[in-house]
Chains A and B, each alone.
Chain A
């Protein structure tokens, strides 16, 4: 089985998953008690207004027809219109997705190598000073919710020490990269949140690997310690770590609800929060689908990376 065949097979599975997700989101939203139009307009709506909205949303047609019309639209890049803003969802979604990708991408690029490094350092002497500091920090931060860390960060770095902006609010057309100082705090909070699990997964794997017979072989070949750790132990430790990172990929794309809201960052998580409070159903559906795709692609990347790292899986 080659890697290409594996990727193709997984892509097909990903498509199946997305179809299932689209059916589920569509079904849940439309099966919910109460008419969608009523839900949108609220209690004060007159029957005429409800009828008008129903007409506009095509709610009169049978469910399967509406589902296929929706899917056909998505395949043409049309996610429908936002009920809240009245404009097409696709361009807005794209912009938000880009913002989230910038935030998440930078977070991953910092957190993944950093947490692997910390995990390896902690594993070199289990129970040593380094291990206690790193693991203590990991466990401590993991016990704190993101918003606590975020609020503490704002308190410390933009109120007590007014170094960084406490809000990352920007113009809709502004590129976040043009204001890097506004990104530092949200990224810092996210990185700290990710360090805990990834570094501990790496640490446990590394302790096991360092006790393994093949590491003994490498040592008794006369190889220097750093080479034994980096070349012989690390590649065998990485697959579970990479899987863990892959899980975070979907999270940083679509799950940054707390951090984006806290810092008023115009990402997809914030968009979803707003859409939910305004009952903007087409936007919710589009958002869920995109986030599901991000999780799927993240896992796919992780599995491919694990395959590349672990020759045994390649067969």
Chain B
């Protein structure tokens, strides 16, 4: 590595005297034809100094990924206007040769999903070495040696051996290290990271974020960091820009924006974020939805959803105005709004223990996948069975929420499917109100089927695309004989839709006409149509934006209070669990390693794994872990 180590003090802004590594000037990106085209990004400007880490925060549809790819001029379906200056050269004006020479050498990319970003048919060492050969004119041997060095630098153990592996032979965290090594292969000036930890478990995420910080310090590479997760951005970035509906609405140092936001949208996002430190009764969601970006009005784009909206907000577009050193916000009311923080009061209406008998008991449930072949013939493939759920015993109290938390592969979803009767357990029983119920849902009695309903993780896949909302929500009503005449049925469906704040006008819509949050509300309405005793929620908000997640979580709490329904809540997000659970069970490798009330588990975790999980959560305060770049760490 020949770059001079450059110390970057935390939370201080690098001087702007030097030429910026990246300067984005008035960039707009339009998809489709001009008149009716989708104006995904509108007039965005920002600059990144050498060695600086700049975070772009935004929810889905904010245009953050379009911007990230525009920096490498990779917007196949869109039209980019404005200037993107990379070390003083306009990316949009480059010849194809110059562009190809800049990609991978001056600017390179780290992707959201490393598994699909790596070529499955090529050894990872070669995937790194070819970049070196391409841009450095190195011979095969030297390029391979450089690849091995890089793999060592991203702290992969035995890099010379890893280099010979194929992507599928590595874990998700290891794959992302390979992608980072590939990005750094030619010492670029700028690394664009598009949600680099979104697909990773929280403990892996923490290690990767540390690695990014270490490498940045050691190599002095500037970073454009795209994320929807404010905690993650806080761990890495010096400065932050907040994108809403294709516009930069606020920009400033990480501390300014995340601790003292001055735009109603940023404030709304912060208040919608469930954290493990406070278990407030309600999360503050942001009502409404993204505006239609095909017809952007001459107004503040956030006005329809804004709590502080004034008359002037709907007649002119506010400019980015300075509110502090380096801190700018796009709001007419910038001097009047203050962050209305949700009171950190320990409004824990949770404390009282559930009394009486539990509603549902899971007793010694086991489930394995794959089994030994009965005949050990030489030409039959032999598989070792994997124990996904290993002797799990849990109680779900009446009218309360039991949250099962774990990382991917912990067996939490398998457990949920066993309870729902979608998968038969190999051993153990499930008791509903003290009586054992049949393992498969089709063998259960009608009242038992009705008592247990399911909300799936991915609302896109869980709703029949050929049915209207009315048919979807009305189906369980008909099935369980809860409504007989069509007028009666429709009234009940409307009632259910009202309860999830959708209302009558959604009756005739099809799933593809709904946003992600609306689809999940339909799923909830469907689950509650049967008037269940227990609703199994399998990561119901992990596919949703933070502002929508808050609304859905509030909804679930309201419905629980109104109907006294119990929840089995499966999640990997400790903040969400802290917010919604009355009891928490931590699951790892198919076993429950710790359980208790949220206050117990999060306040004083006993098991080392729980402690590691909690320590790994990216919070808004930057954490410092083993800082030396050359520290070798145990693999995640």
Q: A213-B116, A216-B74 are contacts. A221–B121 as well, Cβ < 8 Å? A: no
B102 located at the interface, meaning its Cβ lies under 8 Å from any Cβ of chain A in the complex: yes
By a CB distance below 8 angstroms, the chain A residues around B182 are 217, 221
Assess the B166–A311 pair: CB atoms within 8 A.
yes
By a CB distance below 8 angstroms, the chain B residues around A9 are 378-379
A191 CB to nearest B CB, Å: 28
B118 located at the interface, meaning its Cβ lies under 8 Å from any Cβ of chain A in the complex: yes
Q: A219-B74, A220-B104 are contacts. A214–B166 as well, Cβ < 8 Å? A: no
Q: A214-B119, A235-B122, A312-B166 are contacts. A220–B381 as well, Cβ < 8 Å? A: no
B386 located at the interface, meaning its Cβ lies under 8 Å from any Cβ of chain A in the complex: no
A246 CB to nearest B CB, Å: 19
Q: A212-B116, A220-B72 are contacts. A310–B121 as well, Cβ < 8 Å? A: yes
By a CB distance below 8 angstroms, the chain A residues around B72 are 220
By a CB distance below 8 angstroms, the chain B residues around A109 are none
Report which of B104, B120, B135 forms a contact with A312, defined as CB distance below 8 A. Answer: B120
Give Cα A139–Cα B408 distance, bound, in whole angstroms. 46
Assess the B131–A221 pair: CB atoms within 8 A.
yes
B111 located at the interface, meaning its Cβ lies under 8 Å from any Cβ of chain A in the complex: yes
Assess the A220–B121 pair: CB atoms within 8 A.
no
Contacting A at CB under 8 A, from B376-400, are 378-379, 381
Q: Which of A12, A223, A235 is packed against the most chain B CB atoms within 10 Å?
A: A223
Assess the A222–B381 pair: CB atoms within 8 A.
no
B351 located at the interface, meaning its Cβ lies under 8 Å from any Cβ of chain A in the complex: no
Assess the B116–A222 pair: CB atoms within 8 A.
no
B103 CB to nearest A CB, Å: 4
A54 located at the interface, meaning its Cβ lies under 8 Å from any Cβ of chain B in the complex: no
A236 located at the interface, meaning its Cβ lies under 8 Å from any Cβ of chain B in the complex: yes
B109 located at the interface, meaning its Cβ lies under 8 Å from any Cβ of chain A in the complex: yes
Assess the A222–B379 pair: CB atoms within 8 A.
no
By a CB distance below 8 angstroms, the chain B residues around A222 are 99-105, 131, 134-135
B205 located at the interface, meaning its Cβ lies under 8 Å from any Cβ of chain A in the complex: no
Report which of B100, B111, B117 forms a contact with A223, defined as CB distance below 8 A. Answer: B100
Give Cα A213–Cα B121 distance, bound, in whole angstroms. 13
Assess the A213–B111 pair: CB atoms within 8 A.
yes
B108 located at the interface, meaning its Cβ lies under 8 Å from any Cβ of chain A in the complex: yes
B568 CB to nearest A CB, Å: 35
Assess the A12–B121 pair: CB atoms within 8 A.
no
A237 CB to nearest B CB, Å: 10
By a CB distance below 8 angstroms, the chain B residues around A81 are none
Assess the B131–A214 pair: CB atoms within 8 A.
no
By a CB distance below 8 angstroms, the chain A residues around B103 are 219-222
By a CB distance below 8 angstroms, the chain A residues around B116 are 212-214
Assess the B108–A13 pair: CB atoms within 8 A.
no
By a CB distance below 8 angstroms, the chain A residues around B278 are none
A224 located at the interface, meaning its Cβ lies under 8 Å from any Cβ of chain B in the complex: yes
B140 CB to nearest A CB, Å: 14
Q: Which of B99, B121, B131, B134 is packed against the most chain A CB atoms within 10 Å?
A: B121
Give Cα A214–Cα B116 distance, bound, in whole angstroms. 6
Give Cα A212–Cα B119 distance, bound, in whole angstroms. 9
By a CB distance below 8 angstroms, the chain B residues around A309 are 121
By a CB distance below 8 angstroms, the chain A residues around B102 are 222
B113 located at the interface, meaning its Cβ lies under 8 Å from any Cβ of chain A in the complex: yes
Assess the B117–A214 pair: CB atoms within 8 A.
yes
Assess the B134–A223 pair: CB atoms within 8 A.
yes
A232 located at the interface, meaning its Cβ lies under 8 Å from any Cβ of chain B in the complex: yes
> Which residue from chain A places its CB closest to the CB of B107 in the assembled complex?
A220
B168 located at the interface, meaning its Cβ lies under 8 Å from any Cβ of chain A in the complex: yes
Contacting B at CB under 8 A, from A76-93, are none
B74 CB to nearest A CB, Å: 6
By a CB distance below 8 angstroms, the chain B residues around A10 are 379
B130 located at the interface, meaning its Cβ lies under 8 Å from any Cβ of chain A in the complex: yes
Assess the B121–A1 pair: CB atoms within 8 A.
no
Give Cα A218–Cα B103 distance, bound, in whole angstroms. 10
> Which residue from chain A places its CB closest to the CB of B109 in the assembled complex?
A220
> Which residue from chain B places its CB closest to the CB of A232 in the assembled complex?
B119
B97 CB to nearest A CB, Å: 9
Assess the B104–A12 pair: CB atoms within 8 A.
no
Assess the A223–B130 pair: CB atoms within 8 A.
yes
> Which residue from chain A places its CB closest to the CB of B116 in the assembled complex?
A213
Q: Which of A212, A217, A235 is packed against the most chain B CB atoms within 10 Å?
A: A217
Assess the A312–B168 pair: CB atoms within 8 A.
yes
By a CB distance below 8 angstroms, the chain A residues around B120 are 214, 236, 310-312
By a CB distance below 8 angstroms, the chain B residues around A310 are 120-121
Give Cα A8–Cα B130 distance, bound, in whole angstroms. 35
> Which residue from chain B places its CB closest to the CB of A212 in the assembled complex?
B116
Assess the B101–A217 pair: CB atoms within 8 A.
no
Assess the A221–B134 pair: CB atoms within 8 A.
yes
Give Cα A213–Cα B122 distance, bound, in whole angstroms. 14
Give Cα A311–Cα B105 distance, bound, in whole angstroms. 29
Give Cα A220–Cα B104 distance, bound, in whole angstroms. 7
Known: A236-B119, A312-B120. 11 other contacts (CB 8 A): A213-B113, A213-B117, A214-B119, A217-B111, A220-B104, A222-B99, A232-B119, A232-B122, A236-B120, A236-B121, A309-B121
Could you pull out 13 A-B pairs where Cβ atoms are within 8 angstroms? A9-B379, A10-B379, A213-B117, A214-B119, A216-B117, A217-B109, A217-B117, A218-B119, A220-B72, A220-B108, A222-B101, A222-B105, A312-B166
The 9 A-B residue pairs with the shortest CB-CB distance in the complex, in nearest-first order: A222-B103, A222-B104, A9-B379, A311-B166, A235-B121, A221-B104, A213-B116, A214-B119, A222-B100
